[in-house]
Amino acid sequence: MFPPGFAWGASTSAYQIEGGWQADGKGPSIWDTFSHEKGKVFEDQNGDVACNSYELWEKDLECIQQLGLTHYRLSFSWARLLPDGTTRTINQKGVQYYNRVIDDLLACNVSPMVTLYHYDLPQALEDLGGWKSPGIATLFDSYAKFCFQTFGDRVKLWITINEPLVCATLGYEDGIHAPGLEERGIAAYLVGHNMLRAHAMAWHSYDSDYRATQKGAVSLALNSDWLEPLNPDCIEDVAATERDLIFTLGWFAWPVFVTGDYPEMMRAAIEHRSKKLGYIGPPRLPSFSKDDPTILGTADFFALNYYTSQKVKAGGDDEQTLCMKSDQDAEELIDPSWPICGVSWLAVVPYGLRKLLKYIKDTFNDPTVYITENGFSQMGPLQLEDVQRCEFFNSTILEVAKAIQEDGVKVRGYFVWSLMDNFEWSFGFSVRFGLFNVDFSDAKLSRTIYQLGQEYAKIISEHRNSGQTQ
Ligand code: GAL
């Protein structure tokens, strides 16, 4: 059902699990700053301690082994390795921590996949302009080279940036993620642009200086919902659906996999809106210059984070505001017949994943795909016997199998979000995505497997192949 060497993984990210926010010379990140501000996170919670994986790594490793994972996706905290964000100061304690994690994983026959950036920019770099400043690309590239140099003998799967769409929109348009800016219709495009430049620089560095010896692969993780027209017979809804996919997945995937530049439709829509509102200033969607790294071809595989699907309704062209939504001109809705799993945005639509995979195959030149995140959440009273999550998960895996067998999509791995319950950004600890429950009221932060975890372990043991690829 799944090809040999298929990666069965689980994902986490540094800020969401590590804690140790000031331990052993780590510098602060924008999420430390943001979560310490009042009113930003559910009940003013923060990731100061989180799952305390900085001190309890061996507990995480036990969970990983209990599941029988072939792969584990973690992220490095940039500010733990480089406290001021630059290679001028290297925090050896941070290097030791990640060396230990990587070595322990390999000793247990688990391959690490490492994300270099999962939302937690060093605060020192934010103070210099952060992702809005063009110079960030060179700083990210230096950080990436440092990581390839230090860990690349053992890490063979790299993700440069996790979900640039989410960083740009939630962090700079809606202000609900760090750094909490609401510069509508402008900053998100600039941030996305610098993220693409940063990603591409890092990919080129790997390609020219490390690939030959380290033989790994580098990509960026793109999130996308599957979208369908609310009324398939309405041409406006059909067009809005296409435009919406272009504005979300296409924004980043088009430059990397198709043309090296943003989709024409996106540029035209943004220019149209700017003109209509009499906006004066440089084009809101920046252009790549001849001094920028080539963007096309800078991904060795397609890394997809999928959670949900939505119906799209043409939004009408009458919104008189400068914001990304009005550039897009589409409204997204959840079909009332879809079950919701935990958080309000998570309508469970397993077939959406298969459709999205097929869309990726057809639109982005049939790439090798890793599903780097997919998950179902819980809120309210704890349910260790989470039968419904198990059901959703089984149907989703079946859709992945169909995408491989019937649609010929080259899916090479599937990673559950998340290994364990953790700090779910603005929802704090109120939303649980784990294969393991973490008891945040217990000083020991004990980890207990959910039925979902048991189910996943069973699936892995049925499918796990003896020969592992990278
Ligand atoms: C993703 C993100 C993860 C996790 C997940 C569940 O967008 O990469 O960090 O929070 O959503 O909401």
Cα–Cα distance, 413 to 3 (Å, whole number) = 9
Average of per-residue pLDDT across 430-442: 98
Distance from residue 374's CA to the centre of ligand 1 (Å): 9
Structural domain total, the chain: 1
Among residues 163, 173, 228, 373, which one is catalytic? 373
The rounded percent of the chain whose pLDDT value lies above 70 is 98
Q: Is residue 235 part of a domain?
A: no
CB of 425 within 6 A of ligand 1: the answer is yes
CB of 421 within 6 A of ligand 1: the answer is no
pLDDT at position 93 is 98
pLDDT at position 237 is 97
The answer on pLDDT for 464 being more than 90 is no
Task: Provide the pLDDT confidence category of residue 323 given band limits of 50, 70 and 90.
Answer: very high
Distance from residue 307's CA to the centre of ligand 1 (Å): 9
DSSP secondary structure string for all residues of 201-228: HHHHHIIIIIHHHH--EEEEEEE--EEE
Q: Is residue 279 part of a domain?
A: no
Q: Is residue 427 part of a domain?
A: yes
Distance from residue 350's CA to the centre of ligand 1 (Å): 18
The answer on pLDDT for 13 being more than 70 is yes
Q: Is residue 236 part of a domain?
A: no
User: Measured from the CA of 375, which atom of ligand 1 is nearest?
Assistant: 6
Average of per-residue pLDDT across 280-288: 96
Distance from residue 109's CA to the centre of ligand 1 (Å): 26
Task: Specify which residues 313 forms β-bridges with.
Answer: 331
pLDDT at position 467 is 40
Average pLDDT, the chain: 97
Task: Specify which residues 63 forms β-bridges with.
Answer: none
pLDDT at position 193 is 98
Full residue range of the structural domain in which residue 375 is found: 7-225+347-465
Condensed to tens digits (0 to 9), the pLDDT of residues 147-199 reads 999 999 999 999 999 999 999 999 999 999 999 999 999 999 999 999 999 99
The answer on pLDDT for 468 being more than 60 is no
Task: Specify which residues 416 forms β-bridges with.
Answer: 10
CB of 12 within 6 A of ligand 1: the answer is no
Question: Which residue has the least CA distance to atom 12 on ligand 1?
Answer: 424
Contact 140, 295 (CB under 8 A): no
Q: Is residue 249 part of a domain?
A: no
| Listed residue (225, 216, 469) closest to 349, CA to CA | 225
Residues ≥6 apart with Cβ < 8 Å to 102: 112, 151, 154, 155
HEC sequence for 418-438: CCECCCCHHHCCCCECCCEEE
The answer on pLDDT for 466 being more than 90 is no
Distance from residue 423's CA to the centre of ligand 1 (Å): 10
User: Measured from the CA of 343, which atom of ligand 1 is nearest?
Assistant: 12
Any idea what DSSP says for residue 122? B
Distance from residue 461's CA to the centre of ligand 1 (Å): 26
CB of 424 within 6 A of ligand 1: the answer is yes
The answer on pLDDT for 316 being more than 90 is no
Cα–Cα distance, 63 to 50 (Å, whole number) = 16
How many CA atoms does the CB half-sphere of 224 hold within 13 Å? 29
Q: Is residue 170 part of a domain?
A: yes
Per DSSP, the three-state class of 30 is helix
Regarding beta strands 111-117 and 217-223, do their DSSP bridges make them parallel or antiparallel, or are they unpaired? unpaired
What pTM, to 2 d.p., does this model score? 0.98
The answer on pLDDT for 213 being more than 50 is yes
Task: Provide the pLDDT confidence category of residue 317 given band limits of 50, 70 and 90.
Answer: low
The answer on pLDDT for 318 being more than 90 is no
3-state helix, strand, coil split of the chain in percent (to 5) is 45, 15, 40
Condensed to tens digits (0 to 9), the pLDDT of residues 26-81 reads 999 999 999 999 999 999 999 999 999 999 999 999 999 999 999 999 999 999 99
pLDDT at position 357 is 99
Task: Specify which residues 227 forms β-bridges with.
Answer: 310
CB of 225 within 6 A of ligand 1: the answer is no
Cα–Cα distance, 319 to 299 (Å, whole number) = 36
Condensed to tens digits (0 to 9), the pLDDT of residues 91-118 reads 999 999 999 999 999 999 999 999 999 9
Q: What CA dihedral angle connects 76, 79, 83 and 84, to 10 degrees?
A: 130
Contact 118, 177 (CB under 8 A): no
332 annotated active-site: no
Quickly list H helices, 228-384: 235-245, 251-253, 264-276, 324-328, 350-363
Task: Provide the pLDDT confidence category of residue 469 given band limits of 50, 70 and 90.
Answer: very low
Q: Is residue 267 part of a domain?
A: no
Quick one: residue 392, left, alpha or beta (phi over 0 = left, psi -120 to 50 = alpha)? alpha
| Listed residue (404, 422, 418) closest to 453, CA to CA | 418
Per DSSP, the three-state class of 180 is coil
Task: Specify which residues 74 forms β-bridges with.
Answer: 114
Q: Is residue 337 part of a domain?
A: no
CB of 433 within 6 A of ligand 1: the answer is yes
From 373, 374, 379, 422, the mutation candidate for ligand 1 (largest count of ligand atoms within 8 A of CB) is: 373
CB atoms < 10 A from the CB of 25, how many? 14
Q: Which of 22-31, 240-249, 250-259, 460-469 has the lowest mean pLDDT?
A: 460-469
CATH number at residue 415: 3.20.20.80
The rounded percent of the chain whose pLDDT value lies above 90 is 97
